[in-house]
Amino acid sequence: MRALSATRVAALLVVAFAGPLLAQPPKQYQPPSGPTPRTAKGKVDFSGVWEKPYVPDMTKDGKNQKGFADLPFTPWGEHEWTTYDAAEGDYTGACLPFGMTRAMNTPEPMQFMQSDTYLAFLFEQNSWFTVAPIDGRKHRDGIPTWFGDSVGHWEGDTLVIDTVNFNGKTRLDTIGHPHSDQLHLVQRFSRPDLGHLRYEVIVDDPKTFTRTWSNARTLTLRADWEMMEYSCEENNKDLWEGRVKFPKYKP
């Protein structure tokens, strides 16, 4: 038998000892610890990039989230739910806005930017955003929109975001639970410490449900993440039909 060279022996030893190390699971992220941050005026500060639990079905329990098992449908709501088939065309496939709850349910991160007057929701999903005044003002009169009209007020250390005036064209979650243009959302935000955010959404829609119901979850501060661009464009007919050309890449 040929003797192994010193170099080959060294390489085999490296592989033998590195194998168990490579098999180690990656270290689980630990959010920063510390007290609840506050603004200069003493309000809880929700600013930061947050990891959200993915909630494709708001009736199911999952990691860091509690669902509502049996939705109390009205006859209209039951019909909207049982006749829905995403294979026939879901609006998100055309890059239309997800709406407030479905955007909150996505697995992509989000960022809150907060001042004394406003809380901005910055969703990485499709680079959408929505802004809610948090100084206690009333809802505006306006046309119905995809994300609705949001206003906020404080109940102690809990920030309550109240949203109405939806256009009724979205779904509550990925699986397709319905709502109507009568949807009224109440989102409650609290921050028990530096690294976590407690979130509860209360769904009130008398056309779709016979009573209110809620979903609760915990978000995790990701001090190690930055938001990225997410672009979704659909039906660019001028591009696909040749009236607009792809730009030529010049290194």
Q: How does pLDDT run across 10-68, given as a tens digit for each residue?
A: 544 444 545 554 566 778 999 999 999 999 999 999 999 999 999 999 999 999 999 99
Give a yes or no: residue 36 inside a domain.
no
Mean pLDDT score of the chain: 90
Q: How does pLDDT run across 121-174, given as a tens digit for each residue?
A: 999 999 999 999 999 999 988 899 999 999 999 999 999 999 999 999 999 999
Give a yes or no: residue 250 inside a domain.
no
Within 8 A by CB and 6+ apart from 228, the residues are 124
Among residues 106, 107, 102, 115, the alpha carbon closest in space to that of 147 is found at: 102
Give a yes or no: residue 14 inside a domain.
no
Give a yes or no: residue 17 inside a domain.
no
Give a yes or no: residue 168 inside a domain.
yes
- Residue 92's CB is within 10 A of a number of other CB atoms, namely 19
Which tokens sit at 146? 């995809």
Within 8 A by CB and 6+ apart from 131, the residues are 118, 119, 120, 121, 150
Give a yes or no: residue 23 inside a domain.
no
pLDDT at 185: 98
Phi, psi of 92 (to 5 degrees): -70, -25
Give a yes or no: residue 184 inside a domain.
yes
User: How many structural domains does the chain have?
Assistant: 1
- DSSP conformation letters of 81-128: HHT--GGG--GGGGT----HHHHHHSSS-EEEEE-SSEEEEEESGGG-
Encoded amino acid at 164, one letter: V
Tell me the CATH number at 119: 2.40.128.20
Residue range of the domain that includes 181: 48-224
Nearest-angstrom CA–CA distance, 161 and 136: 10
Give a yes or no: residue 4 inside a domain.
no
The residue written with tokens 């190690």 in the block is 224
Q: Where do the H-state alpha helices sit in 4-84?
A: 6-22, 75-82
